[in-house]
């Protein structure tokens, strides 16, 4: 790809602005996506943090659900953070009744997984392919309960009751983190997604 790719941010719900800013700093054309016509212009997509039940419902209302699920399954590079990770999971534990996801990522995700111990927290994580740890902000975050054999684990929590829980993964065209790299003032995870787009 010669020109900078256009990277959409699902913009019906969630922390859209922070992702647009991080993508902008990473040198791509960032585009808020609310309609199928906008999705059609994107080479890649970010699903932000927010509230996954609401995201699914709004995607249905705005006729974005099916085109989006199709693009993801068709190989569009996609990066989900927190609620965005939930929206990419094939299966949810502790979801609300009938909660739908776009799917594509062969994981079982547990919503609000850290909630029983601590709602929101920040920590340093070893992240596959990064020399220095990543500062990770968790807000009512999910964790990956189990992952299929095709899923590469990029980061796990170290220490505390959640020791060893998977919080960042990659499979084919999809990347997902339980935490919010867009809120940490560190663009390395977004930059690694931009490289991932270039390789796809």
Residues involved in catalysis:
82, 180, 182
Q: Which is nearer to ligand GLN, 26 or 141 (CB)?
A: 141
**Residue 26 makes contact with ligand GLN by CB under 6 A:** no
Q: Which is nearer to ligand GLN, 83 or 151 (CB)?
A: 83
Return the biggest CA–CA distance within the chain: 47
Which residues partner with 44 through β-bridges?
7
Out of 35, 57, 91, 140, point to the residue binding ligand GLN (CB under 6 A).
Answer: 140
Any binding-site annotation on 50? yes
**Residue 82 makes contact with ligand GLN by CB under 6 A:** yes
Any binding-site annotation on 38? no
Structure tokens at 117: 């111990």
**Residue 112 makes contact with ligand GLN by CB under 6 A:** yes
Q: Strand 89-93 and strand 78-81: pairing? A: unpaired
- Burial of 98 (C-beta count, 10 Å sphere; 0-12/13-18/19+): exposed
Any binding-site annotation on 174? no
Structure tokens at 72: 């993801």
Structure tokens at 114: 């850290």
Q: Give the binding range for ligand GLN (CB under 6 A) out of 27-35, 48-56, 58-66, 67-75.
A: 48-56
Task: Confirm if 31 and 6 have CB atoms less than 8 A apart.
Answer: yes
Q: Which is nearer to ligand GLN, 51 or 186 (CB)?
A: 51
Q: Give the binding range for ligand GLN (CB under 6 A) out of 21-29, 30-38, 43-51, 127-135.
A: 43-51
Task: Confirm if 127 and 152 have CB atoms less than 8 A apart.
Answer: no
Helix count (H) and strand count (E) of the chain?
Answer: 6, 12
Q: Which residues bind ligand GLN (CB under 6 A)?
A: 49-52, 82-83, 86, 111-112, 139-140
């Amino acid at each position: 790809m010669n020109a900078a790719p256009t990277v959409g941010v699902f913009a019906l719900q969630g922390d859209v602005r922070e992702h647009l800013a991080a993508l902008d700093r990473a040198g791509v054309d960032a585009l808020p996506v609310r309609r199928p016509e906008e999705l059609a212009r994107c080479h890649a997509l970010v699903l932000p943090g927010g509230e996954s039940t609401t995201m699914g419902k709004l995607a249905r209302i705005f006729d974005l659900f099916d085109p989006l699920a199709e693009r993801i399954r068709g190989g569009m590079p996609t990066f989900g953070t927190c609620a965005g990770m939930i929206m990419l999971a094939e299966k949810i534990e502790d979801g609300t009744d009938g909660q739908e996801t776009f799917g594509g990522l062969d994981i079982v995700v547990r919503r609000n997984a850290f909630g029983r111990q601590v709602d929101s927290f920040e920590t340093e994580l070893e992240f596959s392919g990064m020399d220095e740890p990543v500062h990770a902000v968790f807000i009512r975050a999910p964790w990956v309960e189990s992952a299929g054999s095709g899923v590469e684990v990029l980061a796990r929590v170290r220490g505390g009751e959640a020791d060893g829980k998977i919080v960042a993964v990659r499979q084919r065209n999809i990347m997902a983190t339980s935490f919010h790299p867009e809120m940490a003032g560190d663009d390395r995870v977004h930059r690694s997604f931009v490289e991932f787009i270039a390789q796809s």
